[in-house]
Structure 1
Amino acid sequence: MSDRHITMDDAWVPDACTLSTAERPLRLAEFDQLFTDAVRGLDRMSAQHLRLHLAGGAQVEEMARDLTARESSCCSFFTFGLSRSDLDSLSLDVRVPAAYVDVLDALAERAVSLWTQS
């Protein structure tokens, strides 16, 4: 693992996000943990659709379900879908409306950066 740390300020977080400013670093850390520990690959299906390939363990599935449910409650523009193709693989689909493609771009960039470091 690299010592390089990715920093991201709140500039990419849209006004539609209702998560308090104080809670944002904690949520970001949770996504970072998911990206670092569980991402095994990703595909950009379209400008508005990102698919993350995750390790398929039950703990990863539970973490992803909990995290995406909480994220959906404060950032309603996200649509998350979690599916399992077999016991060892899990897919997390992340979709946004066209107005939020830049947010999805930032999420994808962060996922790639952390996944490739681990």
Structure 2
Amino acid sequence: MDRLTEYRELIKQVLSEYDNLSRQSPSEHSENCLIFDETHDHYLWLTVDWLGSKRLKYTHIHIRIKNQKIYIEEDWTEEGIATELVNLGVNSSEIVLAFQPPDVRKFTEFAIA
């Protein structure tokens, strides 16, 4: 399996696990959504809900694959999706914490870009 295919499968696996866990305590109104766009390599786990007549959208995780690396655009998990990907065998030099400003990334164990 080539690296791009492996990244796609690992990302989908981890996001599906988060989604499955969150569905164990369902809400009357909240709806979890998994979005796997392999054409553009964007992967999201989000929740949509209502507060009265106001529509709420919470993006828990947004990942994209760009330049053969995994860019974590948003991550509101406790453990951190990057840690989970490293535990599954992805090298930290292949993960970009894109939610961090570029000048801060150099102080992490992950790729700058």
Structure with greater helix share of residues: 1
Structure with greater strand share of residues: 2
User: TM-score scaled by structure 2?
Assistant: 0.35
Q: Which protein has the larger Cα radius of gyration, Structure 1 or Structure 2?
A: 2
